[in-house]
């Protein structure tokens, strides 16, 4: 009887000791902190550029990984240890809005925190048309319309969408051009002849530009083959 009581007491003592060790080990684990006070981790910089002090909150060592190459943003440091600041220096942005990013990477564990740097642009994207309709010859060839934009044509993505899947290929997006100086330019499209004098074929020509912040400016040209062209904004 005495031996049984002794065994029970010893077993209870071992369980208590194990629980105590487990608790102590958990209590000694230090949480890794790494981040910035920025809302959504977005830093917005004026078009004129300059310096921006970014506070870093950290209780350990970290390094910085730059995700995309650029020539307009430089960082004062690519590593650190504990709370501190990184000075961001940007050049003047004479074009449209742009964005880049870098990642704060903990050297203690796998924690990563991405920082997005958005810079405003001195140019606000413009794309519009005063006249929203035009006539397209059934015989095909080049048709033109006046368009207002300050976006270089090479920046545009050009797509053609046909309304009738049995009548496609008569408007080539690679033959769409834009000429002129200043904001008022001439948009030219090339179409193939409509050999059916009775039918009216339609397609949409879509011009779109996405700036560095992911904001899109777009214009849709709805082409009525041998009758008229409707521009829908």
Note down pLDDT in tens along the chain; length 233 residues: 544 444 444 445 444 444 444 444 444 556 889 999 999 999 999 999 999 999 999 999 999 999 888 999 999 999 999 999 999 999 999 999 999 999 999 999 999 999 999 999 999 999 998 876 676 888 888 989 999 999 999 999 999 998 888 888 888 899 999 999 999 999 999 988 888 766 788 888 899 999 999 999 999 887 666 555 555 44
Taking CA atoms, 43 is separated from 68, 90, 112, 210, 227, in Å, by: 16, 12, 17, 20, 51
């Amino acid at each position: 009887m005495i031996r049984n009581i002794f065994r029970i007491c010893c077993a209870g003592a071992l369980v208590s000791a194990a629980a105590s060790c487990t608790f102590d080990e958990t209590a000694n684990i230090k949480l890794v902190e790494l981040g910035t006070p920025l809302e959504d981790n977005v830093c917005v910089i004026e078009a004129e550029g300059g310096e921006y002090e970014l506070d870093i909150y950290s209780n350990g060592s970290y390094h910085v990984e730059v995700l995309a190459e650029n020539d307009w943003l430089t960082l004062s440091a690519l590593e650190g240890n504990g709370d501190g600041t990184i000075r961001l220096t940007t050049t003047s942005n004479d074009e449209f809005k742009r964005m880049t990013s870098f990642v704060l990477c903990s050297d203690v564990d796998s924690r990563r925190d991405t920082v997005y740097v958005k810079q405003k642009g001195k140019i606000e994207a413009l794309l519009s048309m005063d006249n929203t309709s035009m006539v397209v010859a059934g015989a095909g060839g080049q048709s033109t319309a006046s368009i207002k934009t300050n976006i270089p044509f090479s920046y545009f993505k050009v797509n053609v969408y046909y309304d009738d899947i049995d009548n496609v290929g008569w408007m080539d997006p690679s033959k769409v051009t834009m000429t002129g100086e200043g904001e008022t330019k001439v948009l030219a499209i090339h179409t193939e002849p409509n050999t059916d004098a009775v039918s009216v074929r339609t397609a949409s020509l879509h011009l779109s530009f996405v700036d560095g912040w992911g904001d899109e400016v777009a214009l849709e040209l709805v082409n009525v083959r041998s009758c008229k062209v409707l521009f829908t904004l």
